[in-house]
Amino acid sequence: MPNTNHKLMENIVFTNNVATELQDATNSTAREDIFVLTDCNTLKYCMPVIGELAFKETNVITIPANETSKNLESVSKVWLTLSQRLVRRNSLLINLGGGMICDLGGFAASCFKRGMRYINVPTTLLAQVDASVGGKTGINFNGLKNEIGVFSQAEAIIMDTVFFSTLDKRQILSGYGEMFKHALLAGCSDLKSLMEINPLHAENEFFRKPIKRSLEIKQSIVSKDPFEKGERKSLNFGHTAGHAIESFRIHENKDLYHGEAVAHGIIIELYLSIMKLNFDSQLCEEIKTYLRSIFNIDFNGINAESLYNLMLHDKKNTDDEVNFTLLSRVGEYKTDCYCSKKEIIDAIEHAK
Q: What is the pLDDT of residue 10?
A: 62
pLDDT in tens, 269-281: 999 999 999 999 9
Give the integer Cα–Cα distance in Å for 113 and 230. Answer: 30
Higher pLDDT, 10 or 239: 239
Percent of the chain with pLDDT over 70: 95
Band (pLDDT 50/70/90 cuts) for residue 3 is very low
Is a pLDDT exceeding 60 seen at residue 328?
A: yes
Nearest to residue 129, comparing CAs of 61, 65, 190, 73? Answer: 190
Band (pLDDT 50/70/90 cuts) for residue 319 is low
Band (pLDDT 50/70/90 cuts) for residue 52 is low
pLDDT in tens, 172-206: 999 999 999 999 999 999 999 999 999 988 777 77
Is a pLDDT exceeding 80 seen at residue 53?
A: no
Query: Is 143 strand, coil or helix?
Result: coil
Q: What is the pLDDT of residue 79?
A: 98
User: Residues 6 or more apart from 273 whose CB is under 8 A from it?
Assistant: 279, 284, 326, 327, 328
User: Residues 6 or more apart from 235 whose CB is under 8 A from it?
Assistant: 134, 181, 185, 218, 221, 222, 325
Q: Rounded mean pLDDT of 104-123? A: 96
Q: What is the mean pLDDT of the chain?
A: 91
Which CATH architecture best describes the domain 6-165?
A: 3-Layer(aba) Sandwich (3.40)
Same CATH topology for 6-165 and 169-351: the answer is: no
Is a pLDDT exceeding 50 seen at residue 97?
A: yes
Class of domain 169-351: mainly alpha
Q: Read off the DSSP letter of residue 131.
A: I
Q: What is the pLDDT of residue 208?
A: 87
Domain parsing of the chain, residue ranges: 6-165, 169-351
Is a pLDDT exceeding 60 seen at residue 6?
A: no
> How many Å separate Cα 79 from the centre of its chain?
23
pLDDT in tens, 115-153: 999 999 999 999 999 888 889 999 999 988 889 999 999
